[in-house]
């Protein structure tokens, strides 16, 4: 069965310091992985995706993530947090015939990122 675990429900950092949002996954097949961001009362916006090309993926707004197969992780990082980064972040795994959701996707429960001034 496929699963996604976002290891922290809340992360608080100071503006200008690094951000680390952790995501572990399990999948019987080679997965595709996505990170999305959601601001209050808005839909989800794609930050970046991994689809078996380069393991270090660069996304929008200075975010990047590294796919580590040996650790089954896909952690999201940013060198310097900005106030506008405060939002909910979702890790998503997609794999055909994976035992995930009916459409093959599994969403993490989200990490709420708080930026302290």
Chain residues that interact with another protein, rule: CB under 8 A = 4, 9, 32, 34, 36, 41-46, 49, 51, 90, 94-96, 98, 100-105, 107-110
State which residue, 45 or 55, has the beta carbon closest to another protein. Answer: 45
Q: How far is the CB of 14 from another protein (least distance, A)?
A: 25
Which residue blocks in the chain are alpha helix, DSSP H? none
State which residue, 35 or 85, has the beta carbon closest to another protein. Answer: 35
Q: How far is the CB of 49 from another protein (least distance, A)?
A: 6
**Three-state DSSP state, 54:** coil
Other beta carbons less than 10 A from residue 15's beta carbon: 14
State which residue, 81 or 95, has the beta carbon closest to another protein. Answer: 95
Contact at 8 Å (CB) between 110 and 90? yes
State which residue, 36 or 78, has the beta carbon closest to another protein. Answer: 36
Q: How far is the CB of 21 from another protein (least distance, A)?
A: 14
Q: How far is the CB of 96 from another protein (least distance, A)?
A: 5
Q: How far apart, in Å, are the Cα atoms of 110 and each of 29, 35, 46?
A: 23, 10, 14
Burial code of 25-45, b = ≥16 C-beta within 10 A, e = fewer? bebeeebbbbbbbeeeeeebe
């Amino acid at each position: 069965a496929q699963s996604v675990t976002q290891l922290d429900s809340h992360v608080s950092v100071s503006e200008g310091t690094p951000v680390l949002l952790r995501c572990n996954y399990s999948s019987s097949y080679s997965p595709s992985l996505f990170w999305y961001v959601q601001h209050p009362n808005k839909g989800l916006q794609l930050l970046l995706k991994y689809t078996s090309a380069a393991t270090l993926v660069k996304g929008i707004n200075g975010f990047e993530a590294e796919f580590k197969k040996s650790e089954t992780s896909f952690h999201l990082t940013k060198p310097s947090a900005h106030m506008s980064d405060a939002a909910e972040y979702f890790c998503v795994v997609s794999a055909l015939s994976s035992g995930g959701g009916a459409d093959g996707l599994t969403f993490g429960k989200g990490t709420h990122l708080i930026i302290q001034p």
